[in-house]
A and B are shown apart, each in its own frame.
Chain A
Amino acid sequence: MGELVVDKHVKYILSVEKRKDSFESVVLEHLRMNGAYWGLATLDLLGKLDALDSNEVIEWIMKCQHESGGFAGNIGHDPHMLYTLSAVQVLALFDKLNVLDADKVANYISGLQNEDGSFSGDEWGEVDSRFSYLAICCLSILHRLDKINMEKAVNYIASCKNVDGGFGCTPGGESHAGQIFCCVGALAITGSLHHVDKDLLGWWLCERQVKSGGLNGRPEKLPDVCYSWWVLSSLIMIDRVHWINKDKLVKFILNCQDTENGGISDRPEDAVDVYHTYFGVAGLSLLEYPGLKAIDPAHALPVDVVNRIFFQK
């Protein structure tokens, strides 16, 4: 197992372009903004954000912004809530939120709120509690939560709660750790955690830990490093993280490293990618692994970045 191979992971993230013609590269094209967030947030947690020229990144990000205020996953694509949050998060990492017209971005987001309080991901109207989180997290970072109908937004999220204590994508949807993170995160940011049955949800979440020490996202599913983030951050937000076995989870994540070439995969021996590298490192940060920056479980940004946003203005 060994330790976290920090230098290898840094090298891996910086050298993603060297693997030509991979299936991943085509598929990632339209969601490059997410890739940028995963890669850069990982670098920051590893204390190596300065390995990149922030000006070039920022220039590219701003080229992805549309007239509407929303951001696309890449230049020339359409804006979507998914990429708007990633763009704002990356700017926050670089302490460059000031390049944004915050009201413009906030207007884009508030324009996507529906009558029932839910949010659509883009103008085409797909509704999902994930988008409620994206909207609320983004507006929180921009100090613009007053732009939406908060009461309705919170009530919609609460309506996605299930009898097992978890949350689904829409009312009645199956509880899923990713959706739970989104709903609990949005409720935490808006000071509405009283809608969560913490003990019941905490038990459901700690039941996600399987024999290998890894976490799955739903009953009877395989463990996956990404749930180290979704499950752990939720448990932290409801003060129940001590209910899982931390040592076993740390071992599981470290076992998913490519110790030769860097990067982290979903499960031991699988191929690595930027997405799982981020969730593995972020998970280890939540587990207080030595040498990593602390990460804020609700905003999914390093704690020093979040402090800068909320306590220096």
Chain B
Amino acid sequence: MDAEEHKLRLSQDPEWADVTPIPQDDGPNPVVPIAYKPDFIETMGYFRAVYKANEFSPRALQLTHQAILLNPGNYTVWHFRRLILDALGIDLNEELNFMSGISESNPKNYQIWHHRRWIAEKLGTDAASKELEFTRRMLSLDAKNYHAWSHRQWVLQALGGWENELDYCHQLLEKDVFNNSAWNQRYFVVTRSPLLGGLEATRESEVKYTIETILGNPGNESPWRYLRGLYKNDPKSWISDPQVSSVCLKVLSAEANHVFALSTLLDLLSHGFQANQEFRDAVDSLRPSNSDPADSDLAKTICSILRHVDPMRVNYWTWRKSKLPSTVSV
């Protein structure tokens, strides 16, 4: 918006002649003093006047629009806008359209997302598909936008629309397999969708998918954590499922980032997994030539290797080593 043009509009507009703007009071000698622009000062002056007068009118609604464009983070303006929308009985579908443009230029603004939720809540289940489509568009601009994900989870739980959510996660991971937000959403779907039957019902196919993904990028933290999550509250199955230990073995035998394979194997051993000679050989081949001699305790050897290959977290791996029970030794 052109500041000069705008400046002329309000103070010289006969429609606003009956309103006396109220200036901002920053208090005496402000701590973090702020230098405001003229158009900002004028718009906010008129805003404070209509706000104080509780004027729920079309011109006040229009004024909140201008104030939002100047500063979409001002939640008092949003709040007042909702009061006006309620009072005037405005069609909220139109309000959603108004929101879309503003959201795309302010994707991380709390007030905008909250306003959107307020509207969707009022519109009810009819809004579900529109909201899912909207968040999809926002996530196509930034696939890790925390607000968009939060809104999407709320829509699914409050308004429904779970049918294609697993597919959607799949698409996002196809695009970027390192997208932790998409992995989180995937977990959200398999644990909470009323259509899929929960973790146990989905485990088999999910484990298969996750393992394929890990083998594609063994240094990707997210699927390793996801794999562990698939066995939530069921460590026995986690330890005994040969798919889990074998993905570790495959990664250890390949030219790759071995940190997560080693740490997963370490976790398995700490929970009672019995490793055979194949595992020992694979781990042994990763020992740096200048490291300590191989320990008869496989878990200790793994910690020594991790200390070496992940020096940033050397204290963590040292601690893991110190916590190993002596019984792990086979």
Contacts and interface: CB of A to CB of B under 8 A. Distances in A.
Contacts of B150: 169-170, 173
A25 B178 contact: no
Interface in A53-72: 53, 56-57, 59-60, 63, 72
Interface in B14-48: 22, 24-37, 40, 48
A109 B228 CA distance: 38
A60 B180 contact: no
- Which 9 pairs from chain A and chain B are nearest by CB? A60-B27, A17-B33, A163-B229, A174-B184, A35-B32, A20-B35, A243-B316, A219-B180, A30-B74
A87 to B, nearest CB: 12
Interface majority SS on B: helix, strand, loop or mixed? helix
A209 B74 CA distance: 34
Contact of A172 (B70, B71, B75, B153): B153
A203 B313 CA distance: 9
A28 B178 contact: no
B146 A16 contact: no
18 contacts: A17-B30, A26-B37, A29-B36, A30-B73, A30-B75, A31-B73, A53-B29, A75-B24, A124-B79, A126-B114, A163-B232, A169-B146, A173-B153, A174-B181, A206-B313, A209-B312, A218-B180, A243-B315
Contact of A30 (B76, B313, B315): B76
Interface in B60-99: 70-71, 73-76, 79, 82
Interface in B192-222: 192, 221-222
Contacts of B24: 29, 74-76
Contacts of A195: none
B100 interface: no
Given A59-B27, A173-B149, 9 more contacts: A26-B37, A56-B31, A72-B76, A75-B25, A163-B228, A173-B184, A206-B313, A209-B313, A220-B222
Interface string A19-52: 1111001111111100110011000000000001
A274 interface: yes
A175 interface: yes
Interface of A: 16-17, 19-22, 25-32, 35-36, 39-40, 52-53, 56-57, 59-60, 63, 72, 74-78, 80, 122, 124, 126, 162-164, 168-170, 172-176, 202-204, 206-207, 209, 211, 218-221, 242-245, 248, 274
A124 B27 CA distance: 27
A202 B316 CA distance: 9
B37 A242 contact: no
Contact of A16 (B33, B82, B114): B33
B168 interface: no
Contacts of A245: 312-314
B162 to A, nearest CB: 13
A243 B28 contact: no
A172 B76 contact: no
Contacts, number: 163
A76 B25 contact: yes
Given A29-B71, A32-B34, A163 B187 contact: yes
Nearest to A128: B150
Nearest to A40: B31
Contact of A28 (B32, B48, B313): B32
A39 B32 contact: yes
A75 B24 CA distance: 8
A303 to B, nearest CB: 23
A17 B75 contact: no
B315 A21 contact: no
Contact of A77 (B30, B76, B146): B76
A164 B180 CA distance: 11
A16 B180 contact: no
A74 B71 CA distance: 14
B179 interface: yes
Contacts of A59: 27-28
A163 B150 CA distance: 18
Nearest to B259: A207
A162 B35 CA distance: 43
Contacts of A220: 178-180, 221-222
Contact of A78 (B37, B75, B229): B75
A30 B222 CA distance: 37
Contacts of B110: 126
Contact of B36 (A25, A56, A176): A25
B40 A174 contact: no
Nearest to A20: B35
B79 A74 contact: no
Contacts of A77: 74-76
A19 B153 CA distance: 40
A181 to B, nearest CB: 14
Contacts of A16: 32-33
A274 B32 contact: yes
Contact of A243 (B30, B37, B232, B319): B319
Contact of B37 (A21, A80, A163): A21
